[in-house]
Amino acid sequence: MAIPARLPWPIIFQILGVVAAVALVIATWQVWLLLFTALILAAAILPAARVGERWRVPRGVVVLAVYIVVAGVFALMGRLLWPALSEQWTQFMEQLPKLLENVRAWLGNIDYWLGQWGASLPSPKGEKADFLAGIVLGNAMRLTTGAVGAAFELLAVLVVAAYLVIDAREVGHTLLTLLPRDYRPTATRLAPAVLNRIGGYVRGQLVSSFFVGVLIAVTLSLVGVKYALLIGALAS
């Protein structure tokens, strides 16, 4: 009588473990995305933190200074954008009654044309109007919730990135202990190069975008184009 072959339980458990790990990553992809974004931001700030250490400036102070500078740049861009946006909004509100009148006239023409054929446009009932109002209110609530969630996510990214920069050595040592001993020398050799490449790419994109925006703004200002600073800020 043939003895049945034993099931390869170690391989089965490994496959189940991989499937469970993939399912966990998929279920928590937003958390991993935040961590990856924070890692990219930390890689961009790390060189400044190292330079600050040479001058005995704590890494936390360097991170705070970088955040303040970036916030100042965005505030300046907002200051440049606000007059144009305010003017465009004012013009829209001034033209809104005329637009509504045009829509009503257009609907009136359609109703008159349908009336010649014994038909008419349906008038909205109270229940339908309440239903549409509920949809609009629900969309507004979802938009507000999304904005609040985005603000908290941005705050989480900034906090995690600051932690990664301040405690970079401890975090790196902890992650290194999770790897098998045979792979630790390779990880130790490759990690700084990878972080430098990522940080260099981010810094390069920021610098090139800044100079492109300045060049466009200066060129349009010399030509006499209105809102040259606004266009340059958007181009950057």
Longest dimension (CA), the chain: 96
Instruction: Supply the angle between the helices 184-223 and 168-177 in degrees, to the nearest 10.
Output: 140
Q: Looking at residues 130-156, what average pLDDT do you find?
A: 73
Least confident of 31-40, 44-53, 98-107, 205-214: 98-107
The count of domains in the chain is 1
- Has residue 37 been placed in a domain? no
Confidence of residue 65 (pLDDT cuts 50, 70, 90): very high
Q: Looking at residues 66-83, what average pLDDT do you find?
A: 87
Confidence of residue 121 (pLDDT cuts 50, 70, 90): low
Cα–Cα separations (whole angstroms), residue 130 to 126, 127, 199: 6, 5, 52
- Has residue 199 been placed in a domain? yes
The highest-confidence range among 64-78, 80-94, 112-126, 222-236, by mean pLDDT, is 64-78
| pTM, rounded to two decimals | 0.71
Residue 44 has pLDDT above 70, yes or no: yes
- Check residue 77 and give its pLDDT: 79
Instruction: Supply the angle between the helices 29-54 and 168-177 in degrees, to the nearest 10.
Output: 130
Q: Rounded to an integer, what distance in angstroms lies between the CA atom of residue 184 and that of residue 199?
A: 22
Range of the domain at 190: 180-236
- Check residue 140 and give its pLDDT: 64
Residue 3 has pLDDT above 60, yes or no: no
- Has residue 31 been placed in a domain? no
> Higher pLDDT residue, 14 or 121?
14
Dihedral sign, CA of 161, 39, 37, 194? Answer: positive
Confidence of residue 1 (pLDDT cuts 50, 70, 90): very low
- Has residue 68 been placed in a domain? no
Q: Rounded to an integer, what distance in angstroms lies between the CA atom of residue 31 and that of residue 15?
A: 24
- Check residue 69 and give its pLDDT: 94
Q: Rounded to an integer, what distance in angstroms lies between the CA atom of residue 167 and that of residue 176?
A: 14
Q: What's the mean per-residue pLDDT of the chain? A: 81
Q: Looking at residues 181-188, what average pLDDT do you find?
A: 87
Q: Looking at residues 83-109, what average pLDDT do you find?
A: 77
Amino acid at 159: V
Structure confidence by residue, pLDDT tens digits, 188-232: 888 888 888 988 888 888 888 888 888 888 888 888 876 677 777
